[in-house]
Amino acid sequence: MATIKDSVELFEDEVIVREYHAIDKEYVPVLSSGAEGRIAITNRRVIGRSELSVAGGKRVELNTVPLETVQGTCLSSGYSISWLFLIPGIGLLIYGIFGLISRQWGLGVILLIAGIILIVFSFRREVKIGVRAASIVHHGHISRAEPEGYLLLSQSGFRAYRIHGPDIEAVMRSLDAVILTVQQRGLEVIKDLKCSNPECSYMTMIGEEPPKHCPECGRAWRSK
């Protein structure tokens, strides 16, 4: 999957200050769809873009929230249980045991195997990344801004499969801080990230170790 910088058109004065590769789920025919998801913070908005790979092709989802409206983040990464798989799995396991007790060996074994498979696949991994942003709510003749949750990326899968991208820990650790930093410092952040050569367009991202010399123009990077 291409980076957000390469796949999303930015405004004329908009620059990406941090991008995360948050979701990386391998496509397994029949058993599991594939997915990749990235989060980017610019000086104007928060962007979530994902690509879902299925048997019939691909689906692209793009979610954006204006940066000035963001009031917090909603993050979740870990394990969950699918009751839709677990309960039938336990039922099949019980029927399989009764089948073996009643000497219906073939049916009992089949039900046992089916139950075990459902139970194994009921334990899942999941990732949810969203923000709370101010939204205008009308109460009669009174209008006021109240925080509302906006989901940017969401993906789940069987525990046997990897769904976390290489930057998921960085998302959980620093997404909120990066958003707050850009909100408070604005253009100063971009100035610190850009090469000191006014004719050069190269810039690093928040959280990256700056190079000793600019890889585009060769000028020595400014020291903090």
Cα separation of 77 and 141, whole Å? 40
pLDDT at 66: 92
What number is the average pLDDT over the span 137-141? 53
Share of the chain above pLDDT 90, in %: 20
- The pair of structure tokens assigned to 62 is 């793009």
CATH topology for 4-80+124-186 is: PH-domain like (2.30.29)
pLDDT > 70? residue 224: no
Q: How many residues does the chain have?
A: 224
Identify which of 166, 168, 161, 165 has the alpha carbon closest to the alpha carbon of residue 26. Answer: 161
In this predicted structure, what is the pLDDT of residue 205? 87
Is the pLDDT confidence value at 36 over 80?
yes
**162 and 124 Cβ atoms separated by less than 8 Å:** no
State how far the alpha carbon of 134 is from the alpha carbons of 42, 141, 177, in Å: 18, 19, 18
Confidence of residue 197 (pLDDT cuts 50, 70, 90): confident
Distance from the Cα of residue 2 to its chain's centroid: 15
| List of E strands, 5-121 | 16-25, 34-42, 45-54, 57-66, 70-81
pLDDT tens digit string along 57-114?
788 899 999 998 898 898 888 888 888 888 998 999 998 888 888 888 888 899 999 9
Cβ 74 vs Cβ 132: under 8 Å: yes
Give the residue-averaged pLDDT of 157-184. 85
Cα separation, 174 vs 27, whole angstroms: 28
In the chain, how long is the greatest CA-to-CA distance? 83
The residues spanned by each domain of the chain are: 4-80+124-186, 194-224
Q: How confident is the model at residue 41 (pLDDT cuts 50, 70, 90)?
A: very high
